[in-house]
Amino acid sequence: MHGTAHPVLRCGSKHTLDLSRPHVMGILNMTPDSFSDGGRYNTLDGALRRAEQMQAQGASIIDIGGESTRPGAAPVSAQQELDRVAPLVERINRECDLIISVDTSTPAVIRETARLGAGLINDVRSLQRDGALDAAAATNLPVCLMHMRGEPQTMQVDPHYDDIAAEVIAFLQERMTACAQVGIAAERIVLDPGFGFAKNTQHNYELFQRLPQLLELQRPLLVGVSRKSMVGNVLKQPVDQRLYGSLALAVMALERGAKILRVHDVAETMDVLKIFNAVQTAAKE
């Protein structure tokens, strides 16, 4: 598995994720202000129907977020985030047979959603909030660590890198070390380069080109580029017209070793994944 020694993630008591093959993670934002689908699914019934739809389309994981992390997004309180996310985690856990990822940096949300059935903690801040490392360690769940500098409100203010791949690798290595110190073993960790977070368009594409270098860290890679500005800035297209660009990057992410694709458009990405798998399988025969 591209140099990773632990191809199976144990996602709570009910699920495992076999990362000897790639998977699609469907995005489900319980926020009114997310950049692509804010407000579309933030009722409990609507969100559940969307989760069921994405599962039927082939998603292995649903990623639920209650705090927008788009550039310039305002922070929300822990209680507000819990109120948005916890009821949906509980209901999907009860009614759907799929892995629930919770997109959160908040210790209280990490602990409560793990209790309610979450199978993965996906943190854009790499467990840097006070108490987040200990909260994640206590859940025994896998965690996804993402590269970002600053906060969503400030991260796009003139970001600079001397060697973006090396600096992203160094940051993720440091966060893995911090995890190890609280008992989060390497086999529980997934890594996300953080496309669109504290990076301009040039940074994003250079990092994408050099994605295989991140495999040196020996952990599975999650790539999230769906509908992002790195697509829009090249195509000169608004958010709702970035599907084909997103799919092009999905193929290239798979070729560069990504194991989880975090996307809005599950059915279309599954078509890409099936063709990718057909080529991979043919090459082995």
- Annotated catalytic residues are 228, 262
Distance, in Å, from the CA atom of 229 to the CA atom of 234, rounded to the nearest integer, reads 8
Kindly give, in sequence order, each residue whose CB lies less than 8 Å from that of residue 232, ignoring residues fewer than 6 positions away: 238, 239, 242, 245
Task: List Cα–Cα distances, 202 to 127, 199, 206, 242, in angstroms.
Answer: 27, 8, 6, 18
How, if at all, do strands 222-223 and 260-263 pair? parallel
Q: Are 89 and 117 in contact (CB under 8 A)?
A: yes
For CA atoms 64, 123, 261, 154, the dihedral sign is positive
State the Cα–Cα distance between residues 261 and 233, nearest whole angstrom.
21
Q: Which residue has the tokens 């998603």?
A: 59
Beta bridge partners of 191: 145, 221
Beta strands in the chain (DSSP E): 8-11, 15-18, 23-29, 61-65, 99-103, 120-123, 143-146, 189-192, 222-223, 260-263
Cα four-point dihedral sign 4, 186, 223, 61: positive
Q: Report the C-alpha gap between 120 and 133 in whole angstroms.
A: 14
**The token pair that represents 74 in the structure block:** 């305002």
Residue 101's closest CA among 173, 161, 186, 29? 29
